[in-house]
Amino acid sequence: MTSPQRSSFDQRVSAVVACIPHGRLCTYGQVADWIGAYGCARQVGWALRRLSLPSRIPWQRVVNAQGRISMSLSREGSDWMQRELLIAEGIPVALDGRLPLKRFLWVPDEGQIARMGQLLRAL
DNA sequence: TAGGTGACGGACC
DNA sequence: CGGTCCGCCACCT
């Protein structure tokens, strides 16, 4: 069953991920920080895993801090789907999932951080 | 209940 | 670079 706690966490993740600009990337760790869950990058991955695809949430813009799409058989193809979506946004992704994270990493300025804060408080 | 597994990340070698 | 270890914590046997 879905606990209210998990549901809230998922909503927070979706709210901030929705703020990532087209053609930009961020990491699971960044998302965790933004929702006030420092160190909980792993749970962010679980939250995105729960999204029903296709989704209006730009989940494909979240990659790991090593600069690669997390490839895993358990994702049943969503990893390859992520690769296609990112390529469609102009981000080159190698077959093994490697991508130029440095060049496309989104580092929100204070205004954008504040904006995300507002969205979170509105939940 | 206990133990194994991950869409993680950082430290180390 | 790559590989290993460990802390983390929700999930799933």
Q: What is the tens place of the pLDDT at every residue in A61-89? A: 999 999 999 999 999 999 999 999 999 99
What are the extents of the domains in chain A?
A: 4-122
pLDDT less than 50: residues of chain A: 1-3
Q: How far is the CA of A89 from the C1' of C9 (A)?
A: 33
Give the residue among A34, A62, A44, A85 at the shortest CA–CA distance from A70: A62
The reply to whether CATH 1.10.10.10 applies to domain A4-122 is yes
Quick check: helix, strand or coil at residue A91? coil
- Please tell me the distance from the alpha carbon of residue A25 to that of residue A63, in angstroms, as a whole number: 7
pLDDT of A117: 95
pLDDT of A97: 96
Amino acid at A56: R
Closest nt by CA–C1' to A41: B8
Residues 6+ apart with CB under 8 A from A45: A28, A70
pLDDT of A60: 98
pLDDT of A5: 58
Closest nt by CA–C1' to A68: B7
